[in-house]
Structure 1
Amino acid sequence: MTGGGRAGEGAVALFRQRARSVPGRAALEYPGGRLTYAELDGRARALAAELALAGVRPGDTVGVTMERSPLLPVAVLALWTAGGAYVPLPASYPAARNRAVLREAGVRTVLTDREPDPDVLSGSAGDAVTCVRLTDRTLRAPARPPAPTAQPGHAAGPEDLAYVLHTSGSSGAPKGVRIPHRAVVNLACGLQHVYGDLDGARVLQFAPFTFDVWIWELAMSLLSGGTLVVPRADVPLHGPELSRILRELHISHLSGAASLVATLPEEEPIPVTTLTSGGEPLPEYLVRRWGGRVRLFNAYGPTEAGVCATMGRCRPGQGTPGIGHPLPGVSVHLLDERGTPVPDGEPGEVHIGGPGVGLGYLDRPAETRRHFVPDRFAADRPGRLLYRTGDLARRLPDGSYLFLGRIDAQLNVRGYRIEPGEVEAALLRHPDVTAAAVTATRGAPDGSVPPPGPDGPPPVGGTDRLTAYVQAAPGTTVTGAALRRHLAALLPAHLVPSSFVLVDRLPLTAHGKIDRTALAPPAVRRCTPQTRRDTTGPGRERDVAELVATVLGLAEVAPDDDFADLGATSLDMIRIQAAVTARWGTRLAAADLMDARTVRRLAALLDRTRNGARGAGTAPPGAARAPGHPLPAVRTVKGGFK
C-alpha cells in the first residue's frame, strides 16, 4: 500500500494498535454505558470465539440484521477478528430483497439483535442458516479467553473481504460491492491526514448501517483513537432534534449529506468543530452558513472506491464548492471516451485508483470487467485496478477537482445513488403497468424549478425527488397510492418515488427508446380557497392543509391523507416542522409530528400544544435533560448469545 495506508494490516490490527496505546480511553459510548478500548477489544474477541463455534470461518460472508446500536461495532469487530465479512440485511427492507441478497452473497450465518425473520431465512438455498442473536449481555459480560477453535489469531488481513454493500442496480436487482480491508485502513489513515489528530474526537454514529458512511464513522473514531457515540435508536437525527443531540452528547465530528446539513438550525449553537458533507453536491449557501463557524469539508467517493476518494476544505467566498484533492494513496484520472487523459480544465470521466478500490461486484463478472479496468498508470504494481465512476469532473489549477455531474442515467437523490432501471423493473411487475420511466425532479411550491448554484437554499418543498411516469394497460385504472404500496413491498424506502405521473403513452426517441428529456415535470399548483373548502374542515384544518400542500408541492391535501402516502420524505417532514414554527411559533417534537401526519391530527396537535395540553408522557419540544442525567438504558433481552 502507498500513501495513507499501512502495508500488511487489516482494520482489526489498526484498532488493536489503538487499544494498546489508549486502553482506558472511551471507545464506545451509548445510552446507559460506555466501553473503553481495552473492554471493546475484549468483547470483540469473546464474540469472535462464539462466532467460530457457531461455524463462521475465515472468508465467510455473514448477514447482519441490526439497526443503529452499540452492538453493531462490537459485532463488526468480532466478525473481522474471526475473518468474516458483513452483509447488511436491514429489518426495514422488504423481505424479498433481503432474501435475494442472502442468496447471492452465500450467507450461512446471520447476526441479529431481534427475533429472526422467517420470511428472509426461508429464502436461503442449501444448508440452513444459523442465527446468532446478540443481547446487551454482549456489552456487559466480562471478556473471556477465546476458545481454541476460534482461530483468534486470524484477524482479517488487507486483501481479505471486509464487507459487501448492495447498491441500486441498472439490471433491476441490487448489486453487491465487495470491499477489502485495505480500503478501510486507507480510509482511516487518509482521514487522519486530512483532519489531523483524531485522538479524543467524539463522532456521532449517524449513518444507516447500509450506507458506507457508517464505515467512515468507524474509521474516524475506533480506528483513529476517537470515541464513537451511539444515540438512542428512537431519536430522529435531523433538524432541531439533531442540533439538541449534538449538544447533549458533546459531538465534535459530524458527517452527512448536504440535505442533512441544511436542516441544522442556523441560529442554534452546536459543539461540532468538524462538519463533513458528502454523497450529494454541497450548495454554496451552506458554505456561507457554516464555513466560517466550523471546519467544513466536502467529500467525494463512490462505494466501489472505499467510501471517499477526495476531500477539500470549504470556506465562504471561494465560489462553487469543489470536491478537493485525492486522499493519500488515492489516484484520480480524468479520461475521455477513448481512455486518454484530458487536459487540465477540460471535463473527463473520473477514474479512481489506489488501495481503496474494491474487488468488483458479487457474481457479476461482465459488469465487474466493465467498471473495474486495469490501472495502466500503475505499471509498477501489476494487478491494480481503476474504478470507472461514470462521474464527470474538471481538474482545477491548484490540483483539486470540481464535480460536474453524471455521464449515464444514474440518479443521486438525497445522497443515495439510484439506478432508475431497478425502480422501473419493480414497477413493471405490477400487473396493470405496461411501461415506466423514473427520473429525478426538483419542484418548488409554485411549480417552478429552483435555480441551481449559489442563489440560496431551495424554497420550502424544493428538493430532489424520484418521480415515476407510468403507462397503464388499456382499460385499467392505476393509482399512485396503489403503486406506492406495490413498490414498498419490493424496494427500500429510498427507492420508492415521491410522485407518480400517469400518462397515456411515454414519449419515445427516433430509436424507440424512452425520451427522458420529453418527460414533463409533475404539475404543481398552490391551493385555492375553494379547494381548501372542498377538502378540509374549518379553521385550523384549512390553514394546516394549505401549509402541508405548499411544502409537498401538491394541489390539495384532504384531512385524513397520510403524508407518507402522499410521498412525503423525512426531509419533507422537517420542512413541515419548520413551516409550522415559522407560521405559528410552535416547535413540535419530531416524534409528535411523525405520529400526527394527517391534516386533521396535526391541527388537533397544534391546538393542544398551544393550549398547553400536551399528551401524557410527551416531553416538551427540544427539552434537554439535566446535566449528568443518563440516557435511558438499552432494552435488555435475556439470554446473551442464542
Structure 2
Amino acid sequence: MESTIYSRFKELVKNDPDHPAVIDERSCVNYAGLDRLVDSLISRFPSFIPARVGIVMDHSVEMIGSILAVIKSGAAFVAVEPDFPPERLTTFLIENGVDFVITQEKYAGLVRDFTRLIITSEVFIDPALHPLPDRSQANRPAYIMYTSTPDGFPLGVAVGNSQVIHFAEAFRRTYNISGDDILLQFSACIMNIFIQEVFGALLNGAALAIPSASTRNNLEALVRFIDSQYVTVISGFPYLMMELDNLEALPMTVRLLISGGDVLHAASVSHLLEQVTVYNTYGPAEATVSVTCCCCTPDSVLPDGSFPIGKPMNGTDVMILDDDLREVAPGAEGEICLIGDGLADYYTGDHRGDLQPFAVISDGRRVFRTGDIGRQLPDGNYAYLRHKDSEVNILGKRVVTGEVERAMKKSDEVDDCVVVHYVDEQGAAYLVAYVVPKSRSFRLSWVKNRMAQYLPSYMIPEFFVLLKALPTDAAGAVNPKALPVVLKDGKAV
C-alpha cells in the first residue's frame, strides 16, 4: 500500500520513539510522545470523520500535533495565521467548507462562526487510550494552502499525501537530511516553505525547532534560539537571508541555508557563502514546495546579480513553453511550466471559476503553467526572470496588486486607484498606491483602516500618491510608465 504522511511518520515513531520530534520555547516532545498527542487530539474531534479542518493557532508543539491529527483522521488541514485580517480569515475557512476549527482560547473569538475544538498547552494524554485507526489515504488531500487567482481573489490549493511524501524524499536526498538535523520552523503556515520545514523534518527523522512569534520577529532573539537549540538547517525567504548575512557569524551548528519564494541576489548572501552552504530554490504552492534548486557559489551568479533557480530536484520536469504550449528555442524566454508527480490535485474556493493553469501538452502529459517567465541557461540551470501578471513578493509573501486595488476601492474615500510595485536598492519589492480621491476631505488613515479589514499588513502599500486622474494610454488603460516613480533606498523601515 502506498505511504501516507502519517504512515511514514509512524514508521519513524517505531524506529526511534525517543528521538526529539518538536521543540518549542515551552516544551519538547519525542516521536512517540507526538504520536500519543495525535491520538489524544483525534479523540476530542467534534466530527467523527471530518473532510477539512481549520487550524488557527500559535506555532507550537500542539499545532504540529493538530496537523498530524487531522491528516491521520483522513482529512485535509486548512491552516491560517491568527493575525490574518478577520474577514479574510473567515472567508477562506468558509469557502473551504471546514467541518470545525482547532484553535486556542485567545483566538476563539476569531472563529466563533464555526464549531471549535479549543486546546491548551497542557493537552491531557490519556495513557489508557488505544491507538486510533489511520484513515489517511495516499490519493486524498493532506492540506489546502492559501493562494490567490491572477486577479487577486483568494484560492485554495489542495495537495495530496502522495505529493508531500514525494517531496520529503527528494528533500532528504538533495540536502542529506538525517536524524542528526534540527530544522528551524520560521515561515508562516500560509506559505509552502512551512510544508518544507515541518514535513522535511518529521518525515525524515529530524527534529523541528519552533521559536515563538516574538522571537521570530527579533533577529537577536532568533539567533539565540537557533544557537540554543542547535539548529542545523534554516529555510526562508531572501529577506531572512539578507538579515542573517548582516550578522558577524552564524551559530556554529548551522550547516545549510535554503532560500525560496523570491529572487535571491548574491549581495544578500555574500557573507553567508563564506560560512555555510546556501541553496536557491523555486516552486509555487501548486508544486507542493520547491521543484528546482541551485547550490550558490560566486561562479554561479548571473549578470543581473541574482542566482539561477537551478535544476529539477524531485522528479518534476521543467519546460520553457510559449503561449501555445510549445517548447521555445534553447536559451529563449518563455513561461516556466512544470510536469510531474509533485503537482497539486485541484483548487478549492468560490473563485476557482474558469482558472485553468493546468493543461495537457501534445505528448499527453499534464502541465502546470506557473505564469512565471524564465529561460534555460547553457549549463542546464534555469533562470527566473519575472512574472507575467501583476504579482510580486513582499517579505517573501505573494501579493497580487489587483487584490490591493479592490480593497482600496471599498473605501468611500477612493474614486480610482492603481497599485504598482518597485524594487529598492537592496532588491526588495515595495508597493506604491496612486489614488484619485473622491473629495478634498480625503483621509489616508480612513483608507488604510478600511484596507486592514481585508488585507494583512504586508499588502498595504508603503507609499500613497494623490493624483487628480490616472494617466491612460490611447486604449484608455492606465499607463504605468506615466506614473511618478517613488524611490526607496532599501534602508528605510
Shift of the 426–49 alpha-carbon distance from structure 1 to 2, 3 Å rule, reads: same
SS in structure 2 of the partner of residue 317 of structure 1: helix
| 8 Å contact from structure 2 (residues 80, 189) kept in 1 | no
Distance 2:198 2:255 in 1: 18
Instruction: Quote the residue 1:472 is aligned against.
Output: 437
Instruction: Quote the residue 1:10 is aligned against.
Output: 4
Shift of the 523–47 alpha-carbon distance from structure 1 to 2, 3 Å rule, reads: closer
Shift of the 116–229 alpha-carbon distance from structure 1 to 2, 3 Å rule, reads: closer
Q: CA deviation at 1:316?
A: 2.1
Instruction: Quote the residue 2:49 is aligned against.
Output: 57
Distance 2:312 2:397 in 1: 22
SS in structure 1 of the partner of residue 475 of structure 2: coil
Instruction: Quote the residue 2:129 is aligned against.
Output: 145
| 8 Å contact from structure 1 (residues 169, 421) kept in 2 | no
| 8 Å contact from structure 2 (residues 338, 370) kept in 1 | yes
* AA matched with 1:401: Y
Q: CA deviation at 1:249?
A: 1.7
SS in structure 2 of the partner of residue 198 of structure 1: coil
Distance 1:439 1:195 in 2: 37
1:485 correspondence with 2:449? yes
Distance 1:249 1:327 in 2: 29
Shift of the 169–332 alpha-carbon distance from structure 1 to 2, 3 Å rule, reads: same
Deviations 1:53-90 (A, max 9, x none): x11425x1111110222211100000000011111233
Distance 1:273 1:368 in 2: 45
Instruction: Quote the residue 1:22 is aligned against.
Output: 16
Q: Map of 1:121-520 to 2, 5 A cutoff? A: 121-122=112-113, 129-138=114-123, 141-146=125-130, 152-154=133-135, 156-264=136-244, 265-270=246-251, 271-320=253-302, 321-363=307-349, 367=353, 369-374=355-360, 376-377=362-363, 379=364, 385-443=366-424, 450=425, 458=426, 463-473=428-438, 475-520=439-484
Q: Which runs of 5+ in 1 are unaligned?
A: 1-6, 123-128, 444-449, 451-457, 526-549, 553-571, 573-642
Distance 2:300 2:371 in 1: 27
| 8 Å contact from structure 1 (residues 391, 406) kept in 2 | yes
TM-score for both structures, normalised by structure 2: 0.93
Deviations 1:89-137 (A, max 9, x none): 3321122112211221112201002245446433xxxxxx321011122
Q: CA deviation at 1:45?
A: 2.2
Q: CA deviation at 1:353?
A: 1.7
Deviations 1:515-558 (A, max 9, x none): 22322222679xxxxxxxxxxxxxxxxxxxxxxxx943xxxxxx
Distance 2:176 2:463 in 1: 44
Q: CA deviation at 1:142?
A: 4.8
| 8 Å contact from structure 1 (residues 12, 81) kept in 2 | yes
Among 65, 76, 79, the alignment partner of 2:67 is 76
Distance 2:366 2:354 in 1: 11
Shift of the 172–255 alpha-carbon distance from structure 1 to 2, 3 Å rule, reads: closer
| 8 Å contact from structure 1 (residues 201, 227) kept in 2 | yes
SS in structure 1 of the partner of residue 3 of structure 2: coil
Deviations 1:449-473 (A, max 9, x none): x3xxxxxxx2xxx742111111112
| 8 Å contact from structure 1 (residues 323, 403) kept in 2 | yes
SS in structure 2 of the partner of residue 263 of structure 1: helix
Larger Rg: 1
* AA matched with 1:132: L
SS in structure 2 of the partner of residue 411 of structure 1: strand
Q: CA deviation at 1:164?
A: 1.3
Which segment is superposed worse, 348-357 or 462-471? 462-471
Distance 2:192 2:487 in 1: 35
Distance 2:373 2:75 in 1: 35
Instruction: Quote the residue 1:631 is aligned against.
Output: none
Q: CA deviation at 1:274?
A: 0.5
| 8 Å contact from structure 1 (residues 169, 422) kept in 2 | no
Shift of the 360–508 alpha-carbon distance from structure 1 to 2, 3 Å rule, reads: farther
Q: CA deviation at 1:309?
A: 1.0
| 8 Å contact from structure 1 (residues 110, 131) kept in 2 | yes
Deviations 1:278-336 (A, max 9, x none): 11111012343222311110010011111111111111232221111112221111101
Distance 2:359 2:268 in 1: 36
Distance 1:509 1:47 in 2: 59
Deviations 1:578-614 (A, max 9, x none): xxxxxxxxxxxxxxxxxxxxxxxxxxxxxxxxxxxxx
Shift of the 89–232 alpha-carbon distance from structure 1 to 2, 3 Å rule, reads: closer
* AA matched with 1:153: D
Among 17, 37, 43, the alignment partner of 1:43 is 37
Instruction: Quote the residue 1:93 is aligned against.
Output: 84
Distance 2:449 2:3 in 1: 47
> What is the alpha-carbon root mean square deviation over aligned residues?
2.2
Instruction: Quote the residue 1:105 is aligned against.
Output: 96
* AA matched with 1:395: Q
Deviations 1:418-452 (A, max 9, x none): 11111111111111211111121234xxxxxx3xx
Shift of the 369–440 alpha-carbon distance from structure 1 to 2, 3 Å rule, reads: closer
- Identical pairs, percent: 27
Deviations 1:2-30 (A, max 9, x none): xxxxx822211111121122211111122
TM-score for both structures, normalised by structure 1: 0.72
Instruction: Quote the residue 1:577 is aligned against.
Output: none
* AA matched with 1:292: E
| 8 Å contact from structure 1 (residues 63, 107) kept in 2 | yes
Q: Report how many residues are paired.
A: 487
